[in-house]
Amino acid sequence: MSRHWEEIQRKLDSIKEKQLFREIKTYLGVDFCSNDYLGLATNSSMLEYYRSITDLYPFGSTASRLVRGNYDSMDLFENEFASFVEGEAALLVSNGFVANFGLIDSIAAPDCYVFTDRLNHASILDGIRISGAKKKYYNHLDLNHLQSLLQKADAEDPTKKHKRIVVTESLFSMDGDSPDFPNLLKLKEEYGFVLVVDEAHALGVYGKEGKGILFRDLPIESIKAIDYRVYTLGKSFGLEGGIIVTKQIGRDHLVNVMRPFIFSTAPLPIISKLAIFALGLVRSMETVRRDLQTLAKGLKDLLTSNGFSITNTASHIIPLLLPTEKEALFYAKRLQELGLDVRAIRPPTVPTPRLRISLNAKLTTQDTNSLTSALVQIRQEWNDLQIAS
C-alpha cells in the first residue's frame, strides 16, 4: 500500500475504534428519522401532479442558471416564495448546504467577524471557514455570551472596521430547540450586525401557513430587518433545493459572486414546478401541523415518564440522549431490527451521542407507542448485557 492509502487505513481504524464509523444504509422500517415532516415526499396529489408534468421538462437543466439552465418556473417559484415569506427577493440554488455555504462565503471575508452558535450546521461552519472570516463561537442559544463577544469586539474595534455577522438556525436539527428571537433582534438593533437565520427545519412546520419559526416568534417589521434567511426544499417540501431570501440588491450580489451558484449546474427543471405545487399544499396543512405537535408532545411525555433523557426540545425533533456511542449504536441497531428506523447520531455531527427521533405527519400514536415500548425493551436488553459482561 502507498503512503496515502496507509494513512487512510489508519484514519478509518481510528474512527472504528471510537465507535464512529459510518455506513450508508437504505430504508430500515417505519420512518422516525427523515426530515419529510409533512409527508410530502410521497404525497399522492404531489405524485399525481408530478406525473402530469414529466413530459414537459428535460431530465437535467444542462447548464448553470446564468448560462442555459434557468427556467421560467424557477423565476416564478422564487417570486412566489419571496412573497410567501414576505421578503423582497429569493434565490433558488441546488440545496440548503450550498445556500448556507455559498451565502456566507459571499458576504464574509478575512476582515469580518462571524459569530456562530456553537451547534450551527456544518454548511454554516464551512461557509465561515472558506470565507477566511474570524469565527467566534457562542455557546448554544446563549445570547448573553453572544453579547459579551459583541462587546469585546466593539472594545477591540470601536470604529467597526470589521463587519460583524451573526448566524443561527431557527430550529436546531440535532437538538430541537430554538433561539430567543425577540432578544436576538434587540441585540441586532444595539450592535448593528448582519443577521443570517437558517429556517431549514422550521419551514412548513411552524408559523402561520408554515412560514417558519420567525413568523411564530416575531412581528413582521422584525422579520424584515433580518438580512438573509435560508430555507431548504429538502425537508418539509419533500424535494431538493435551497432558497436564500434577502433584499433585491442582496440577490443581485449573490448572482454575481456566489461561486457554488455561478459554477454549478442549475437544479433539475421539474423541481421548481413541483416546489410551486408543494408551496400551495404546505400553506393549507394547518391541521397536519397541529396534529404533528400533538403527536410530538405525547411522545415527549411518554419518553420522559419512562425515564428516558431527551434534549430540551420544543419541537417535533426529539433527540434521546445516551451516554456512549456504543449504546446509541446498540439501540439504533435493535430498533431497526424491530422495524423502526431510528438512527444514531454521533460526534462530530453532535457533541454527545443520541438517537435523533424526528416525527412526521404519516406517523400515528400507535407508532409512537410502539417506539416507546421498543425502547423500554432495548434498555432492558442493554442492562442485561452489562450485567452478563
Ligand X SMILES: Cc1ncc(COP(=O)(O)O)c(C=O)c1O
The binding site for ligand X (CB under 6 A) comprises 95-97, 100, 121, 123, 169, 173, 198, 200-201, 232, 234, 242
Distance (Å, whole) CA 128 – CA 140? 17
**Closest approach of Cβ 345 to ligand X, in Å?**
11
Residue 260 C-beta: closest distance to ligand X, Å: 11
Quick one: cell of 346?
Answer: 454521533
Closer residue to ligand X (CB): 93 or 375: 93
CB closer to ligand X out of 122 and 249: 122
All cell numbers assigned to 35: 426530515
Which of 107/153 has CB closer to ligand X? Answer: 107
Of residues 92 and 375, the one with the C-beta less far from ligand X:
92
Shortest CB 352 distance to ligand X, Å: 18
- Closest separation in Å from C-beta 107 to ligand X: 16
Task: Give residue 103's identity as a one-letter amino acid code.
Answer: L
Q: What are the residues facing 229 on neighbouring strands?
A: 197, 245
C-alpha 242/C-alpha 260 separation (Å) is 12
User: Minimum CB separation from ligand X for residue 272, in Å?
Assistant: 15
CB of 121 to ligand X, least distance (A): 4
Q: Which one, 234 or 269, has the nearer CB to ligand X? A: 234
HSE (CB half, 13 Å, CA atoms) of 82?
Answer: 20
| Pure H helices in the chain | 3-17, 44-53, 72-84, 96-107, 122-131, 143-156, 181-191, 213-217, 220-225, 248-257, 259-262, 269-284, 286-305, 325-337, 365-388
198 vs 327, which CB is nearer to ligand X? 198
- Residue 313 · residue 176 · CB < 8 Å: yes
d(CA 231, CA 96): 7
SS3 of residue 318 by DSSP: strand
- Residue 110 Cβ vs ligand X, minimum distance, rounded to whole Å: 24
Name the residue nearer to ligand X (CB basis): 339 or 347: 347
d(CA 122, CA 15): 19
Cell readout for 329 is 449504536
